[in-house]
Amino acid sequence: MFPREVVSALKSRQTPYYYYDLDLLRATLEEIQKTGLSRGYHIHFALKANHQKRILKVIREYGLGADCVSGGEVAQAIKCGFDPKDVVFAGVGKSDQEIELGLKEGIDCFNVESKQELSVINELAAEHGKTARVALRLNPNVDADTHRYITTGLKENKFGINQEDLDEVLELIPKFDHIELVGIHFHIGSQIQKLEPFRELCHRANELSNYIEDKGFNLPVINVGGGFGIDYKAPTSNPIPDFEHFFALFEEHLQLKDHQELHFELGRSVVGQCGSLITKVLYTKSGREKNFAIVDAGMTELIRPALYQASHGIDVLEPGEEKATYDVVGPVCESSDTFRTDVEIPKVERGDLIAIRSAGAYGEVMRSGYNLRTAFPSLYSDDIRG
């Protein structure tokens, strides 16, 4: 899994901590350049997946913009060198202060999710003598076929403007002197592994783009969001998602007009596989029905298994021949503090290190201070080479 020199470096650190393979991140970005940017697509990285400065610096160097969902993320993106003209700001609950920050910095676009938000942005832009560029986030009612907590494109979800409200929103826009409508935006969910939902999204985007432009509006930007998944089951053998087929689907099914450009907001597919949570076995405990491997990382470091019932690969860094079946659990006093149940891995002893794989997205960024646990600094592959 990891080269010997990497394992040696990983053993020298206080656990738990995150390890990032920047070589894999660069290889992933090169594939995105080859299959996406080369088609003329505009690709923004979703900071909600990972906002670490070292990660963002590499991503910016490969020509991606920034997709933000909070004022803090907008500030982080700009601090890390992203041009404000390459920053978009989404989110169903933007505060006045966050909107004002975006206006002050001159970001490219606000992805607007309701009639009331549109009105608030117009008012704040007027107060600051600005014109806000906006895209309407439309709810296409497309089932992403993913976990219900990360589905965002159905009518019952809180996100976006439903089609029955669209005409009312379009009637308001000409009345707002400090709003410039530049496009439409979609995001149907996360960790989508089948291409069919994206194909359906293309058809809905075509319909809605035509509908809005037929009413006299100009939509230079079609933003289809992100959501492309990664292979949690085989991170070593399948470390880079199939971007070629993903981007080719949009080229085939999305009917862009001559004046339109296509935008994406990718997160997990960019960084998911480059990160691992490194943790140490504190104790092993056996019973008649269960064997437990109790590690020093918990839901405080990686909440996805507790929150989404996510299943991450688990690798022993220096494995022996003998196998055993464990529940791999953390130290937090919650029964949900469990990484995997009944997982067969090489037999472990107190002090052994394991890597919880595919943790580069929605891992470290969701770390919490519950139980006042110490957060140890991350390690990057570039540091090992010196």
In this prediction, residue 204 carries a pLDDT of 93
Give the pLDDT of residue 146: 47
- Between strands 65-68 and 314-316, the pairing is unpaired
Report the predicted TM-score, pTM, of the whole model to 2 decimal places: 0.94
Buried-exposed string 302-323: b where 16+ CB fall within 10 A, e elsewhere:
bbbbbebebebbbbbbeeeeee
pLDDT at residue 163 in the model:
83
Segments of the chain with pLDDT less than 50: 146-155
| Domains of the chain in sequence order | 22-271 (3.20.20.10), 273-385 (2.40.37.10)
Share of the chain above pLDDT 70, in %: 95
Q: What pLDDT shows up at residue 143? A: 55
Query: What pLDDT digit, counting tens, does each position of 230-255 carry?
Result: 999 999 999 999 999 999 999 999 99
